[in-house]
Amino acid sequence: MAAEDYQAAAAVKSVRGSTIPAGRELSPGEIAGLMRSCEKDHTPAGARDAAIISLMYAGGLRREEVITLAMGDYSPESGKLVIHGKGKKERTAYLTNGALYAMQDWLIVRGLDPGALFYAINKGGKIITTKPMTPQAVYNLLSKRAAAAGVEAFSPHDLRRTFVSDLLDAGADIATVAKMAGHASVNTTARYDRRPEEAKKKAAELLHVPYTRRKQK
């Protein structure tokens, strides 16, 4: 290949593809079902799980972020939570309404002593203050609550996906949502925006295919 042909080819920018994130969003009814499952459980695990699910949905926390939270990261007075994200980046979340109430109930059970915000709980309902939770423990509790509530299986990240999608649907600014989710770029946040898909669906309905279903014998 001649030098000038090579330079011309090298100057062509590569085409970057995009993929639809795997997973699904949870419906409001499914979120409510998970919370009811926790409310019916009057053990310490019920209060803890309600607080964790609330944080993951209303705050968009990853399960790794949940287990690294310390009591000092949360302000009971203001509802402010400092989240330690990827790459040692920190962001803040504010708990309100049901998420705030769930955290308040958990802290009544847990107490306000320093240490991990969430602890493991044994089968007897005893809080093990020497044993912080693991990512697998968060996965297991979500699976347990889903089964109890009759909710289709979902991944921990699906709660985060629902957090982003529901905020955008409610009219929150995408740049604000990106900051709340800890995304380095709004392009990442936009991948979870389902509004363009609804627009596509409405646009498709503008065209009419003149086809009549066959009569079944």
Q: Which pLDDT tens digit goes with each residue over 160-208?
A: 999 999 998 888 888 999 999 889 888 888 888 877 777 778 888 888 8
pLDDT at 20: 55
Task: Give dist(CA 200, CA 129) in Å, integer.
Answer: 51
- The answer to whether residue 106 is domain-embedded is yes
160 annotated active-site:
yes
Active site residue: 144, 157, 179, 191, which one? 157
Q: Whole-angstrom Cα distance, residue 50 to residue 53?
A: 5
Contact 25, 157 (CB under 8 A): no
pLDDT at residue 214, as a whole number: 87
Q: Is the pLDDT of residue 12 over 80?
A: no
Tell me: pLDDT of 15 over 50.
no
Mark out the alpha helices in the chain (DSSP H runs). Answer: 3-10, 28-40, 44-58, 63-67, 97-110, 135-149, 156-169, 174-181, 186-190, 195-204
* Sequence letter at residue 82: V
Active site residue 208: no
Question: How many residues in total does the chain contain?
Answer: 217
For range 131-140, the mean pLDDT: 93
183 is catalytic: yes
Element of type H or E holding 43: none
pLDDT digits (tens, 9 = 90+) for 89-126: 899 999 999 999 999 999 999 999 999 999 999 989 99
Examine residue 215 and state whether it is found in any structural domain, yes or no: no
Which tokens belong to 176? Answer: 């604000």
Which of 40, 86, 131, 195 is catalytic? The answer is 86
Provide the percentage of residues in the chain whose pLDDT is more than 70: 90
Residue 183 belongs to some domain of the structure? no
Q: Is the pLDDT of residue 1 over 70?
A: no
Q: Which domain holds residue 85?
A: 28-152
211 is catalytic: no
Residue 205 located in a structural domain: no
pLDDT score of 11: 54
Residue 74 falls inside a structural domain: yes
Residue 209 falls inside a structural domain:
no
Q: Which two tokens stand for residue 10?
A: 């090298």
CATH number for the domain spanning 47: value is: 1.10.443.10
Q: Is residue 216 part of a domain?
A: no
How many folded domains does the chain comprise? 1
**Residue 79 — very low, low, confident or very high, per pLDDT cuts 50/70/90?**
very high
From 48, 91, 110, 160, the catalytic residue: 160
82: in domain: yes
Given this model, what pLDDT does residue 5 score?
A: 52
Catalytic residue check, 63 = no
